[in-house]
Amino acid sequence: MLSSLHDFVARLERLGELQQVEHPVATRLEIAAITRRISRYPKGGPALLFRQPDQGPFPVVTNLFGSRRRMRLALGLDRLEDLTLNFSALLQDLSLNGLDGLGPLLADHPSLGQCRPIVVPSGPCREELLPGADLQQLPFLHNWPDDGSASGSGQYITLGQVVTSLPDGSQPNCGIYRCQIHDVHSLAIRWRSGSDAARHHQEYIRRGERMPVAIVLGGPPALTLAAAWPLPPGLDELQFACWLRQATLPVVNCLHGPLRVPAEAELVIEGFAEPDQPLIEGPFGNHTGRYDPAGPAARITVVRITRREAPLIPATVVGPPPQEDCWMMLGWERLLAALLPRLVPEVRDIHLPLPWVFRQSAVVSISSSGPRQVREIVQSLWELPWFAKARLLVLVDAERHPYSLMQTAWCAVNDTDWRDDLVKDETGRRLAINATCRHLTGERLSDDVTEQLISQRWKEYDLP
């Protein structure tokens, strides 16, 4: 199984999934613009390795996970659907009572318990010490013209895995947060509301203490994905990454606090989130096609940066889809396909269309008996954290294929009665469409016998 970013890049190169750019390119805007154009290619385009970024001596790699095939390769799967089967088998052993305690239940499952991270004395991520812990020596990208224009620089660490914990080292968390470079030794991180990292920082603020933080670049691809996905609270992303890769994960201790980071990482930034004096982060060009406004964020003071002898600097570029982050969520979609039927029994499958995914919107196939039950299913989905802010849910019959937006649009237009089949919440900000067509009369068109016949004879027709 892949244990490092170097391993992943080497495999992508062998399989023709990597394009190298040998000419000098600018970290300010140019690399991002190239990456966005490539990401719009059919099936996501190749991963990109920029050999000569103009700032910093190390290569930059983008669009690593930006296709269905590369997602499979990152997870070591023949099909992404195998992730659903594997997670379903694990969930079968659990007695679930809604979301309560789901994270700890998963953490205690024997399949996860037998492949926990293992502490080692050192690793490639400690091969070199970056002189002066200078953030500005590194080729971090400036993606959109107005990024960071309120304060600091426009450079961001966009694929950093941010490691935090409670003061006693318990409840470790590894999540991906955008990190804005402010100066040589300072960066700003705006925690997501309700995230474990935000909760950890609040506890340190309550104590009036600095919170140890580690920002990891690289490591096993499975960990990068686990950090990006909204896993149930109480489930350690490093432990879940071990389950994803079906192997233990060597980690090293940090010197400045009770944190552990992957030994095979490319680079580790260690510092402290200050309990006061927040920085301004933003604006930041996002997947909505607009800038997220600037706002207060945690001030991180960097004290040490260690790295491999010859590190690769991973970065992701966001903007209107399709971009790499949309493809990364396909793995989470396949985990939800296993988890949702255990929480909402009528759910049969789910699809997160690339243009919708970051608005928590989805196409959900269900088995139901009528419009009233559909409304109850919608309410149950809205109560889950993954759909609490869903702009649009489209519910289709279990016999329909939820993965085709063309078929979904056809169902929504042809199979709905707008008087009864629109479900809005009390705020008017969330909408669901009942496109199950359970109330429609008339027999569906089908001719399975002839379809089977022509499938058997297709080669005889000399058609493509």
Helix axes 324-343, 68-75, angle to 10 degrees: 70
Distance CA 31, CA 45 (A): 15
pLDDT at residue 440, as a whole number: 58
Q: Which domains does the chain have, with CATH numbers?
A: 5-314 (2.30.110.10), 344-435 (3.40.1670.10)
pLDDT of 367 above 80: yes
- Residue 229's Cβ-side half-sphere holds a number of Cα atoms within 13 Å equal to 25
The residue count of the chain comes to 464
Note the pLDDT tens digit of each residue in 141-191. 999 999 999 999 999 999 999 999 999 999 999 999 999 999 999 999 999
CA distances from 152 to 139, 147, 195, 354, 425 (A): 16, 10, 24, 32, 40
* pLDDT-derived band at 372, boundaries 50, 70, 90: confident
129 or 101, which is more confident: 129
* pLDDT-derived band at 224, boundaries 50, 70, 90: very high
Question: H or E segment at 14?
Answer: helix 5-14
Note the pLDDT tens digit of each residue in 423-450. 888 888 899 998 887 655 667 677 889 9
Distance CA 148, CA 142 (A): 9
Q: Alpha helix (H) ranges present in 153-302?
A: 196-207, 221-228, 237-245
Give the global pTM. Answer: 0.93
Distance CA 345, CA 260 (A): 38
* pLDDT-derived band at 285, boundaries 50, 70, 90: very high
Distance CA 134, CA 148 (A): 19
**What does the DSSP 8-state code read for residue 121?**
S
